Amino acid sequence: MSKLQKAKERLRKMPKDYTYSEARTLLRCLGYEESSKGKTSGSRAGFYRRKDQSVILLHKPHPGDIMKEGAVKQLRSYLMEKGEI
């Protein structure tokens, strides 16, 4: 199983310790580019994919790296709708 397949499977399982770093790596592998949206974005980060103009906004957790359950659900649902996982 490839690293990408393992990353997709991990997200599918909705782990309690899913990190923003893992999400960023997965999205980059799927062709998304991260955009911090400037100083006024707060803890929001956007990910944009040029080939289909897809955009997803994620909350950057702080002070740690572990994402909240709702943010993980949002990411998982979004990627399922896109047929990526």
Chain segment 4-21, per-residue pLDDT in tens: 999 999 999 999 999 999
- Spans of all domains in the chain: 3-81
Given a cut of 70, whether residue 39 has pLDDT beyond it is: no
Q: What is the 3-state secondary structure (H, E, C) of 46-71?
A: EEEECCCCEEEEEECCCCCCECCHHH
What angle in degrees, to the nearest 10, is found between the helix axes of 3-12 and 69-81? 120
- The residue among 18, 6, 32 whose CA lies nearest residue 72 is 18
Instruction: Categorize the per-residue pLDDT at 60 as very low, low, confident or very high, splitting at 50, 70 and 90.
Output: confident
**Cα–Cα dist 57/59, whole Å:** 7
